Structure 1
Amino acid sequence: MKGRAIVVGLAGAGLAALVADSGWSRALALVALAGSLALLALSGTARRALGGLLAAIGLALVAIGVYAASADAAPKMLLVSLGGTAVAYSGWLVIRHSPAWTGMSSTYDRPTPTADPETSKDIWDALDRGEDPTTR
């Protein structure tokens, strides 16, 4: 489900960004595109909140596309609505299924500091006294 949500979100946001005129529809599509990519890095509550944001952006794209298509009779705005529908579906998938997804690995996380009694201030003080802290 994780892969499906990301691919559907990227495809829908990409479609909306490609066919949208400049303005709100283009801006929302680009935010949805970035948000779909950010799903890879987030986990837990942040991922679910982003899913809700993606669903709201998708619904906004649908509304903008339908309104603009009815006003201008532009068929490309219906494609914006189609992309918005895909983004909204992606957001729903994230909200519904993300608690079961795994997060990123901890390979590149900052290591937890060890309990070293000597602080960096102690090392600088030793250097000021003329001692070599590497010989301890």
Structure 2
Amino acid sequence: MNLIGRLTGRRGLATTAVACAAGAALVLLAATRGWQDLVTNQPAPLPPITKHRTGAEIAPWLPALGVVALAGAGALLATRAAARLVVGALLILSGAGVVAAALVTLGDDVKVVWPLLCALGGLVVLAAGLVTMRAGRSWPGMGARYERPVAPQTNEKNEPKPGRPASQAELWDALDRGEDPTTGDRP
């Protein structure tokens, strides 16, 4: 059985969301480290000036893409069905953007370790997006307690239709009115 086939259900959702968050954190960490040292020579008695440039200074979109990926990790937990596929597509795009931005900066006296770690984080985000596109429909959504309550059904006269109340509050309200909420009968 392939890896994506094992990433179904709650375990697959949790694994993918944690991997996406870890990849995004790696991107954000690597983008804030010193990638390049620029040395400017001065006249003889003065020492040379060294300026350290971070990955965010070299490629300013790296932290933004890292934040998008981090938000996508949270969105994986909060969405379902078609919306989760949109999140997966955004994760693929942001992961590919991070990889491209990190690898383009190689050369020109750039320290190799931070761009490669940034690209690795982007690959993890990209992989999380691909897994989401492939297995995201089989993952469960959030519980119903987070959804908006359903409005009670009414007839033409705007009176409640007979039947079982939809929520706990309606059950108690029916008892307060002297109705038996377990039957469909109304007095």
Match of 2:63 among 6, 21, 26: 26
Specify the alignment match of 1:122 in structure 2: none
Q: Which has the higher contact order (CA 8 A, sep 6+)?
A: 1
Specify the alignment match of 1:106 in structure 2: 144
Q: SS where residue 73 of structure 1 aligns? A: coil
1:14 and 2:18 correspond: no
- Normalized per residue, the structure richer in strand is 2
Query: How many Å apart are 1:49 and its aligned residue?
Result: 1.1
1:66 and 2:103 correspond: yes
Aligned length: 119
Segments of structure 2 that go 5 or more residues without pairing to the other structure are: 1-11, 32-54, 160-187
1:88 and 2:88 correspond: no
Specify the alignment match of 1:45 in structure 2: 82
Distance 2:107 2:92 in 1: 23
- Normalized per residue, the structure richer in helix is 1
Task: Give the number of the structure whose alpha-carbon radius of gyration is greater.
Answer: 2
Q: SS where residue 63 of structure 1 aligns? A: helix
Query: How many Å apart are 1:72 and its aligned residue?
Result: 4.2
Match of 1:4 among 15, 36, 46: 15
Q: Partner letter of residue 104 of structure 2?
A: Y
Segments of structure 1 that go 5 or more residues without pairing to the other structure are: 119-136
Identity %: 36
